[in-house]
Chain A
């Protein structure tokens, strides 16, 4: 399999400078190795901190228990479940796994195919909700933009959907996605969808930056 690599830019929060990064249209062994070697120790430290601060478990970021090797093994070689990764400064900065088998829920586009973002996670050192100042900004936006671009490439006209973890609800509203409310079929997480028009507006805004 040939992996397509695109050049993207992230923001180094400490210096305010742009950082060159690779957007790769796959999640490979190197990403799984980075997850085990670099992400997990930071996640474990964050969990220890949450316990020490007696933060109720219900308020912990839900993605802390995500096991990427398991997620990737489950969909290995399956056309319907592509993945993306962002690599910068020699290490994986974010991962996304998508599902192309689902249909839209938003009344104006119900039943039409979309790119469903099954999992999207940025490296723990880039997440402000884990306590420290993030190192790099823009990883989640790069991955979401890749999902919308894939939707165009597949002929789905930019339509994407996802169930949001509570700490990300405001972000998805801010970028213009339609909030279809809590979904009892998915742990009551809020379901967001991007329409053809919203995708066009999203790209026009991104290009204007």
Chain B
């Protein structure tokens, strides 16, 4: 199982598409590692600098419909090779969400009010998140506060995360 813990990158925008996560011109790469420098290169978000802001971040918190657009699994891969194995959002595009779990990564949905709470209380601070997948808890911590937030994950998704992805599971079960 991958590691689901670390510093948080907050992206306060809905409908961040896979072209923004990894532009099409980099789809000519044939290794995941080659995508590393280009994560979120074309993100439209005021004040965001993809070279500096993603440094040392391993959990991404954002708004609705994250990962819409192209089916490119290069989007989760670009996150993965930058150490980001968890995205928490109000909702995800279907293909992106499935790609995350297929790679043994976590795409966690939270209601809008809980996300708003996270943005209000933890964005702009030195915030860390640890996912406890067995207890379905998001443990969020900053300098002055710490708390647990419940989340739901389906049995299939949880199995993929625990078994490290869909290829291994499918090969041993089908």
Asked if A and B are interacting partners, one says: no
Give me the interface of A with B, judged by CB distance under 8 Å. Answer: none
